[in-house]
Copies of this chain bind each other. A is one copy, B any other.
Amino acid sequence: MQLAEQIRYLMLAVQREGNRYFNDALRPLDLTAAQAEVLRVLQEYQPISLGELGNLLVCEHGSPSRLVNGLVTMGLVERVTSKRDGRYVTLTLTELGKERAEVVVQIEAKMDEQIMELIEHASIEPLLEVFWRYIEDRPSGLALARRTKWHVPHRDAAHKEASHAD
């Protein structure tokens, strides 16, 4: 099995195991990794529309309605139809949602510690350039570029216009 194939499978394995670890850590909160990401994005960008949320999540779908529905049902997110434009819904965290988001921050911090220990003596940053080059024009890469001020090779990510929140 050659190097490229090894890379493909290793990426899948690492991502899969990391996600499993993250889901395990989130279980006491009764949250999944995808739900946690939504809480964190709302924490940083609220109030925002469903479509904008979809543009910021590392996954591509027109509008993450069902994902958000679950969080609304759990009492973590509030959804209000925009008065200004009835097509939009405005999403914000409830008080409970803010508390849960803070716990997610702590769980993520522990994972980040482990990652930093793993890469402590590895010269990994040139490879992040390679990753960025692979995804830069694809939906997930665009979502990540929007969320961060990371150096994006070859061009700056266009900033999205202001939220339609009422």
Contacts and interface: CB of A to CB of B under 8 A. Distances in A.
Q: How many copies of the shown chain assemble into the complex? A: 2
Interface string A104-143: 0000100111011011001111111111111100111101
Interface stretch (A7-15, A65-73, A84-92): A7-15
Contacts of A135: 10, 13-14, 17
Interface residues of A, number: 55
Interface of A: 1-20, 58-60, 108, 111-113, 115-116, 118-119, 122-135, 138-141, 143-144, 147-150
A133 B17 CA distance: 12
Contact of A13 (B4, B126, B141): B141
